[in-house]
Structure 1
Amino acid sequence: MTVGRVANALRAEARATNERRLLVLAGEGAATRAAAADALDAVAIESRAVTYLGESEETPWERVPPARAGDLLGTTHGALVVDCHEACRPNALGRAVGAVDGGGLLVLCVPPLDSWADRRDGFDETLAVPPFDVSDVAGNFRCRLVELLRAHPGIAVVDVDDGSGEPTVERDGLTDPAPRVAPDPPAVPDDPAFPAAVYQRCRTDDQVTAVEALEALGEPGDAVVVEADRGRGKSSAAGLAAGALALNGRDVLVTAPQYRGAAEVFARAREVLVGADALAGDPDESDPTLLETAHGRVRFEKPTAAAELPDDPDAVVVDEAAALPVRLLERFLDAPAAAFATTVHGYEGAGRGFSVRFRDRLDDGDFDVTDVSMTDPIRYAAGDPVEVWAFRALLLDASPAVDSLVEGAGGGADATDPRGDSPSLAYRGPEAADLLADEHLLREVFGLLVAAHYRTEPSDLARLLDAPNVTVRALTYRGHVVSVALLAREGDLPADLRAHMYEGGRVRGNMIPDVLTSQLRDEDAGVPEGVRVLRIATHHAVRSCGLGSRLLSEIRGEFADDVDWLGTGYGATPELLAFWRANGYSTVHLSTTRNDASGEYSAVMLAPTSDAGRALADRHSRWFLDRVAAMLSDPLDDVDPDVVRAALCSVDATPELGLTEWEWRLLAGMTGGAGIFDTSPRPLRRLTVAYLVDAGPPGEEPLTPRQERLLVRKALQGHSWDAVAEELDFHSTGQCMRTLGEATRPLLSRFGGPKVAAELERFE
């Protein structure tokens, strides 16, 4: 059978069922690309209608480089060719699968299947972080991928150059499904607030339901949450609603992690406005991120900017909300009305941070919340075999264990099996082979990482299975994963790599040595070896029961004699800083720019486990204290004061005050009223840092949190008196100044000594 006949049979079945089919062409690169061209010619798909995702520039089709696979988001294609010869990139594969329309073909050009797992490609090179090289990378992800390509329905496998001169059909991919009956078109709801023409653009009953729910955004006080798998039309529903709201004179602010993720929202909003002849200006020349009518508009802002609610929008639409951190999402609760559309399963992020932590705060807030779940696919029929394969191959639908199976683990570190006396919590370090052999364990491990962290994606699955510097550690309860950590070896770098890093070069996979070397000018930071906690997650049903701390304790016990330090880096929040501090980690750095994904300033923390690790942590702790006051008055002048309090409280070092006798007299003078502060801010800045780092002796009365925030905002960050008074709810600027003076006195009592005590007596 020729490749063309295989493709024809697949395409005919795909079109008859409105499903997709997958054609795998195995062999050397040029041969598979030629076979792909033959296959698509045979099914009469014109070259200009085909998109090629790959590195080869010798192609008759429109080419999208793998690095720009995100451009496929929101697009649909009748046929898409994915070339995996130069690199098999899991994220790119996930994006490609979602971009093929019902009745279409996804064509994979791959090396010979029997040897594919043993080859090393461009993606493997990204996993080979120093001091490892590409020969140390395993091929477990592709081994599993090949197994699933050979097992799932709807997938044809053709060996295009087996040496015989003719292609060999290993599988024809046909499923012989029963004929499908076309569904009835969705009906317009009774008495809709939006024009009937908006509903007539809906393609499923689910979409009608979602748009009808989104009518609530026309008035303040309502929030709508729309959850769906990819391809269900949630972004389209949001776009139809946004266009209808603009027709009604509303100002709709749309945000998403990147504009391309919201492109479908704007495409459908534009349809509504153009159809109603309401779009201001020339529709062909308008800004794609701004749609305006005579009285309303739909506009886009990046998440961190949108969270400021610029120009006071009437409603906010957050697309792919699960890809944003909880702390950023919370800021949209100040909007008059808001919609949160999010993917349930998908590489964009299906973080439990949204579905549990943020939803709790949304439900406890002032909004009346409406939930909408969309299950009917729009681009292809339900039960599409290519979607089923992709979900399993990339673990897009991986999830933690069912709550009832793990709730007993909340009994703490010594949780026992209710059926006996033996402890049922176990510390495990499964190797890649263990995960491959136990699909149940793999899905729970990866599902917990996906559910708890907004940045986990298919490439992390390959990293977990293949990267030589990455390991996983877990706590299990009666065989189910309740807490998991992804760990990476860093450091132990040779002199030439350390010099390269010091001189501005990037070294993959060594985040902490890189920051300490390139940004903080410590060329020896890459000498000690450490283990960085890339991700840590605890099952939501047993969160706050000490299991994350128990897991970190087990990790320390295992690695303490083998490495010099344990470390972590993450978007800093007061709660996370307190968690890591409680587990023995100390702050050595705060980034000076916000992370685009988290919206937070990142903290780097270390827990030394050897003399070399202690020396590294000690010098960076001292350097951090030497520079933190200057950072807080300039690049970090907008960081949350509670983050500053928690970060400084987490430093293992004693600040050098270095104050002159005159500066102590200035500080004593501030206690009668803070006007003197403006004449010389330096002494109080240094004293504030010393106080926040040093918790003081037991029993000593600390400052109140409000007083500490006042010290951070005024003494460290240099905000104006008026701004500080307003933020901290003082009745007047004068009261704010007097409170700062009152807060200075206990600091002087703690740090000033007898001479300062005598000076203070003069103000009694």
Structure 2
Amino acid sequence: MAHLFPTDNWLALTQHMARAGQRRLLLLAGDNAWSESQAAHLQHCLPGDWLWVSDKANQAQACTPRNARALLGREFHHAVFDARLGFDAEAFAILAGTLRAGSWLVMMTPPFADWPNRPDCDSLRWNDQQQPTASPQFVARFLAALQSQSAEMLVWQQGKAPAFPAQFPQACWHPVQGEPLQEQAAIRDELLAMASGIAVVTAGRGRGKSALAGMLIRAWNGTVLVTAPARVATDVMAEHAHKPLAFIAPDALLEQMHSGKTPHADWLVVDEAAAIPLPQLAAMIDGFSRVLLISTVQGYEGTGQGFILKLCSQLPVSRRYVLNTPVRWAPDCPLELFVSSLLLFDESGTGTTPVSGEMLPAPAFGTVLPGELTDVYRLLSSAHYRTSPLDLRRLLDAPGQHVVAAKIGGKPIAAAWLVTEGGLTQKLSEAVWAGFRRPRGNLVAQSLAAHGGSPRAAMLTGWRVSRIAVYPGAQRKGVGQALIAEVKRQAPAGCDYLSVSFGYTQALWRFWERCGFRLVRMGTSLEASSGCYTAMALLPLTQEGEALAANEARHLSRNLSCLQPWLPFPLPGEPDTGRNLLPGDWRELAGFAWGYRPLMSCLASLVRVLAICPLELPALRGELQSRQPTAVLCGNLGLAGRKALLSRQRLEAGQILVWHDENQAHTLKAWLAQLQFFD
């Protein structure tokens, strides 16, 4: 079997890449044995770390794609990315960001002729199907990006001669030798002179933002407290600080602050700040006079321009800095340009509106076709700062995705990303209500069944508004409402409702209410990604949708007075103060006692029945009436933990049902039992 290139040429090209500060992609497209043979030959010829990211690698240094985040903050010389079974775009971007100048990223793929139609195992993460599906749109995008940089990327397909560059890179790059770059030094000096306030430093991968924070800590004579979602991400910061960091995890810091024991520090430094929900970030900042927030943008962490827009609109940011110069490789590195082009990390233009002036021309509305998704995706990601490569994969190749945009001069100024949901069978919808089944996808449809008042809620079909975005310059001019009205007009026959799930704020709810939505669900715990309480709303389109929306809105209104003590803000609407127990309450209690409905989904029914039931019921009363902490309640009852407590509470709910009506209890229990089994 012929090897890839003569060893001398291969070594020479790699040496020229190191001198030029470049990193490159080498793609091997062929069968498994052939690709592995070529990768092994390269590993033998070129000294380096040779990290393999693969689900099947048998190497000294290996990592599975799902564990790729463990590579953050580390550096490697040469790596292999295995995309033969599936393409984890986030892991690919993470791996590319770890490679230093003079490195090859060797990527193994199926033969190009087979790749577009081959099932992609990674699709199980972003596609609601039960089995892996093909990703023809993303593969086409990958190959097009490869072709556009054909002079810089190396491709070898099995059975074809490899393309070897006619000329080696000649530029000379001077790597950083420990001293700060000019822009790093300038920002550090301004931060050292800052008397108080919030400073934000953002950068793409490899720009030295963590190193800059370490330089600040090293030069500061006082105390600096560091927090980050993962401590491993602060290793580079500690290296440049030349001393151990005073680190505290975000949840531990917030717990101390809430208990009145805020640690004293001259500075609070928050690494990868975009990974922390803004409400928590705001609470942290409130306790310190000087704060430095650093975060990656245009990168795989799911951050971007949207983080900056939301941060600056919600927090009193006094200074903002951007690091532009790469530290670990040269500007215009071929690998960085390829990854940025492929995954749309370049957000140029997302912060400006393609129109100017106070008067906004009437936009044209229309459905977005796959070939028009680039500008729309950038717009959507700018509005939702947790956007990640997973979303791009879903938008391109998952079924049931629709995008409607408002355009001026052919450029999108607003877009709504919609997902088809619902359509479950009656038995499956009832099994979801009881907690026996959780099929993939159907976020709002399943939630209405699992937490709402109707076991058949997931039978109807709806369009969920997954994302909506309006360019900043076009906001507060009615464009968002007009876009939702257009979505309503474009909804297909048989679509019963539009739905939305969002982190509740009064401002957001006012927008959805103006669009015609009705609030139908309010969660009672903070949602991890937004730091807010989850709310859901419906806009009915058919008679069946109207009946569902009316029923769920009544269900929420009837439960408002029971939910309110568990929420830190006033709920909208007039609560129904009636305490009478209805048939739906007893059915809900049965779903908790003999099914797997969550405790908080049955909160209102339980509160009502506890007010009239004479039974002792210490597990239920301890949590819902006395509001005892779980650890205290478990200790009082001699239970091992939360799981044992929940089992006791379900047992007590069954006792309530038997106390109320033994015959009805047996009927409900039999009904619940048959929901577990169906074709």
TM-score range relative to shorter protein: 0.7 to 0.9
The CA deviation at 1:10 is 4.2
- Alpha-carbon distance in structure 1 between the residues aligned to 2:331 and 2:202: 17
1:120 equivalent in structure 2 = 119
- Alpha-carbon distance in structure 2 between the residues aligned to 1:304 and 1:509: 33
Residue in structure 1 matching 2:386, options 455, 475, 482: 455
Matched ranges for 1:447-596 at <5 A: 447-495=378-426, 497-498=428-429, 501=432, 502-520=434-452, 522-559=454-491, 561-596=493-528
- CA shift in 2, pair 1:560/1:443, >3 Å: closer
- Alpha-carbon distance in structure 1 between the residues aligned to 2:470 and 2:89: 25
CA deviations on 1:381-422 (whole Å, 9 max, x unpaired) are: 1110110111101100134467362235x63xxx54xxxxxx
Q: SS in structure 1 opposite 2:93?
A: helix
Q: Which range moves more in the overlay, 230-239 or 176-185?
A: 176-185
Q: SS in structure 1 opposite 2:59?
A: coil
1:155 equivalent in structure 2 = 153
Do residues 145 (structure 1) and 142 (structure 2) align? yes
1:691 equivalent in structure 2 = none
Do residues 206 (structure 1) and 159 (structure 2) align? no
Q: Which amino acid aligns with 1:180?
A: C
Residue in structure 1 matching 2:336, options 379, 387, 395: 387
The CA deviation at 1:181 is 5.1
1:299 equivalent in structure 2 = 248
2:366 equivalent in structure 1 = 428
- Alpha-carbon distance in structure 2 between the residues aligned to 1:13 and 1:239: 31
1:605 equivalent in structure 2 = 537
Contact 2:350 2:382 in 1 (8 A): no
Contact 2:4 2:162 in 1 (8 A): no
- Alpha-carbon distance in structure 2 between the residues aligned to 1:443 and 1:256: 32
- CA shift in 2, pair 1:181/1:16, >3 Å: closer
Ranges in structure 1 where 5+ consecutive residues have no aligned partner: 163-167, 186-200, 274-278, 280-290, 292-296, 417-422, 436-441, 660-681, 687-715, 719-764
Q: Which amino acid aligns with 1:396?
A: F
Contact 1:239 1:265 in 2 (8 A): yes
- Alpha-carbon distance in structure 2 between the residues aligned to 1:66 and 1:500: 34
- CA shift in 2, pair 1:184/1:527, >3 Å: closer
- Alpha-carbon distance in structure 2 between the residues aligned to 1:455 and 1:567: 20
- Alpha-carbon distance in structure 1 between the residues aligned to 2:307 and 2:490: 33
Contact 2:558 2:578 in 1 (8 A): no
- Alpha-carbon distance in structure 2 between the residues aligned to 1:471 and 1:24: 32
- CA shift in 2, pair 1:177/1:263, >3 Å: same
- Alpha-carbon distance in structure 1 between the residues aligned to 2:12 and 2:543: 67
Q: Which amino acid aligns with 2:3?
A: T
Contact 1:253 1:300 in 2 (8 A): no
- CA shift in 2, pair 1:307/1:568, >3 Å: farther
How many residue pairs get matched? 579
- Alpha-carbon distance in structure 2 between the residues aligned to 1:525 and 1:403: 41
Matched ranges for 1:338-353 at <5 A: 338-353=291-306
- Alpha-carbon distance in structure 1 between the residues aligned to 2:190 and 2:181: 14
- Alpha-carbon distance in structure 1 between the residues aligned to 2:14 and 2:257: 46
Contact 2:307 2:384 in 1 (8 A): no
The CA deviation at 1:355 is 2.5
Residue in structure 1 matching 2:553, options 621, 635, 641: 621
- Alpha-carbon distance in structure 2 between the residues aligned to 1:128 and 1:606: 24
Q: Which amino acid aligns with 1:143?
A: A
CA deviations on 1:56-87 (whole Å, 9 max, x unpaired) are: 04x22322111111112211110121111121
Do residues 265 (structure 1) and 242 (structure 2) align? no
Q: Which range moves more in the overlay, 537-546 or 252-261?
A: 252-261
1:669 equivalent in structure 2 = none
- Alpha-carbon distance in structure 2 between the residues aligned to 1:406 and 1:232: 32
2:651 equivalent in structure 1 = none
The CA deviation at 1:547 is 0.7
- Alpha-carbon distance in structure 1 between the residues aligned to 2:46 and 2:175: 26
Q: SS in structure 1 opposite 2:524?
A: strand
The CA deviation at 1:613 is 1.6
- CA shift in 2, pair 1:78/1:38, >3 Å: same
Identity of aligned residues (%): 28
Q: Which range moves more in the overlay, 304-313 or 352-361?
A: 304-313
- Alpha-carbon distance in structure 1 between the residues aligned to 2:451 and 2:166: 56
**Higher-Rg member (1/2):** 1
Ranges in structure 2 where 5+ consecutive residues have no aligned partner: 581-603, 609-624, 628-679
- Alpha-carbon distance in structure 1 between the residues aligned to 2:429 and 2:167: 56
The CA deviation at 1:117 is 1.4
CA deviations on 1:666-713 (whole Å, 9 max, x unpaired) are: xxxxxxxxxxxxxxxx9xx99xxxxxxxxxxxxxxxxxxxxxxxxxxx
CA deviations on 1:318-337 (whole Å, 9 max, x unpaired) are: 22334445444443442211
The CA deviation at 1:144 is 1.0
Do residues 224 (structure 1) and 199 (structure 2) align? yes
2:209 equivalent in structure 1 = 234
Q: Which amino acid aligns with 2:189?
A: E
2:51 equivalent in structure 1 = 51
- CA shift in 2, pair 1:150/1:333, >3 Å: same
Q: Which amino acid aligns with 1:625?
A: S
The CA deviation at 1:118 is 1.6
- Alpha-carbon distance in structure 1 between the residues aligned to 2:191 and 2:161: 50
Contact 1:530 1:565 in 2 (8 A): yes
**Which TM-score applies when normalising by structure 2?**
0.78
- CA shift in 2, pair 1:94/1:61, >3 Å: same
2:163 equivalent in structure 1 = 171
Q: Which range moves more in the overlay, 375-384 or 119-128?
A: 119-128
